[in-house]
Amino acid sequence: MKRKWALLPAALAAALVLSGCGGGADEGAAAGDGAKEAKVTFAIASAVIGPKEEVAVYAVAKELGYFAEEKLTVDTINADGSVAALQAVASGSGDITAADSGSVLGAAEKNVPVKAIGGLVQNWPWVMAVKPDSTITGGADLRGKKIGVISLASGSAPYARAYVKAAGLDPAKDVELLPVGVGAQAAAALKDGKVDMLALYTQAYAVIENSGIALKYLANPDIFTGIRSLSFSVGARDFEAKRDVYERFLRAAYKAMLFSAKNPEAAMRIGYKVFPQILAGKAVDERLAADTKSLTAWLKTATPASGTPEQFGDWGAISDQEWAKTQAYTKEAGQITGDVDLKKLWDPSLLSGANNFDKAAVLGKAATYTAG
């Protein structure tokens, strides 16, 4: 399936604008006295609100005042997958998104004006899952099977294609990809036999397992080791004019990520406050343990693979080797046909300033925070 990259109109037809309330904070470097107030729209590459970047990045930064101290007013819109989120920032409907890096490379190859400015999910989160009694044990068993993906515009689909190709099969002929969404919808598709397996990210599986459904996971081939997943991306047309704004956003986001990694339960409580719809009408006590487990699963993919929050540093960095590995995977998945000029796409120049904050103060607040 070819991806369509016609830019979206100025208002995303399916976007839902969400907002919350901010608070005060004093954790280290923030916007200077000369910084101007700015409004930012964060395009979340997901149609479903859940315990991942909307909580660990947006809700925490908003509620703890990390955005406010950067003189930013930040709202969100939700898009159906990374492609739609990148279309939003390219067209100006959104300012920044955390999108699948393969989709970012695909956009750049098609001359969609986007620029990657910092990493987010840095440990490969995608994995195949089947029912516990399934006879499927790996790629060699996939011929003729139906694979459930979130949508054909999400990072789920290219992952599934690459997994199939790594087994020596043709994803266009030997398997069928069917959109099944996430959560209960995806679980039902697998349980009812509409699909033979699922191609989701670890946090999505945590949600399914929390509902009492058992799964069996298949090992990923070595080709997926070292590939980057979500990266913060912005529209390229006004990047230079908004450099300072984006640096301030990243600094607030990485502070929020550090807080969340140190105290995921507090982050989840904050998530409920900013996005009460996550509760789906249930009490906090009914959801907290399961949702905190789901958020923790996501955080494991979005923070360094080793070490503790106290040791985390270099937020947002992506090495040349990681980009090379990601490009190779993206070609294998059919998202790009050749190498993308990373000098035009990747600009890490904001990361030094984005990492300039008092990490000890953030960790201290996380250790003692009590949700009000």
User: Structural domain boundaries of the chain?
Assistant: 38-123+228-368, 126-224
Look at residues 8, 11, 6 and name the one whose alpha carbon lies nearest to residue 110.
Answer: 6
Distance of alpha carbon 363 from alpha carbon 255, whole angstroms: 9
Q: Could you tell me the CA-to-CA distances from 80 to 75, 155, 347 in Å, in that order?
A: 17, 11, 26
Note whether 322 and 226 are within 8 A (CB).
Answer: yes
Tokens matching residue 204: 């999505």
pLDDT at 348: 98
pTM, entire model: 0.81
Distance of alpha carbon 274 from alpha carbon 97, whole angstroms: 19
User: Position of tokens 């081939």?
Assistant: 221
Distance of alpha carbon 229 from alpha carbon 206, whole angstroms: 18
pLDDT at 203: 84
Distance of alpha carbon 193 from alpha carbon 185, whole angstroms: 12
Note whether 322 and 353 are within 8 A (CB).
Answer: no
Return the number of other C-beta atoms located less than 10 Å from residue 34's C-beta. 6
Distance of alpha carbon 79 from alpha carbon 40, whole angstroms: 16
The letter for the amino acid at 312 is F
Coil, strand or helix at 79 = coil
The letter for the amino acid at 29 is A
Return the number of other C-beta atoms located less than 10 Å from residue 113's C-beta. 17
pLDDT at 366: 98
Note whether 230 and 163 are within 8 A (CB).
Answer: no
Return the number of other C-beta atoms located less than 10 Å from residue 12's C-beta. 21
**Do the first three CATH levels of 38-123+228-368 and 126-224 match, i.e. the same topology?**
yes
Return the number of other C-beta atoms located less than 10 Å from residue 156's C-beta. 29
Distance of alpha carbon 9 from alpha carbon 7, whole angstroms: 7
Instruction: Divide the 372 residues of the chain into consecutive groups of 10 and give the mean pLDDT of each group.
Output: 38 35 48 85 82 95 98 95 94 96 95 97 91 94 96 89 93 96 94 97 88 93 88 97 98 98 97 93 94 92 90 94 92 89 97 97 96 68
Sequence-ordered strand ranges (E) for the chain: 38-44, 72-78, 96-100, 114-119, 126-130, 146-149, 176-179, 197-201, 216-218, 230-235
The domain over range 126-224 is classified in CATH as 3.40.190.10:
yes
**Calculated CA dihedral for residues 238, 244, 247, 251, nearest 10 degrees:** -140
pLDDT at 207: 86
Look at residues 324, 303, 305 and name the one whose alpha carbon lies nearest to residue 315.
Answer: 303
The letter for the amino acid at 113 is P
The class (CATH top level) of 38-123+228-368 is alpha beta
Note whether 351 and 315 are within 8 A (CB).
Answer: yes
Distance of alpha carbon 366 from alpha carbon 360, whole angstroms: 10
How many CA atoms within 13 Å lie on the side-chain side of 1? 14
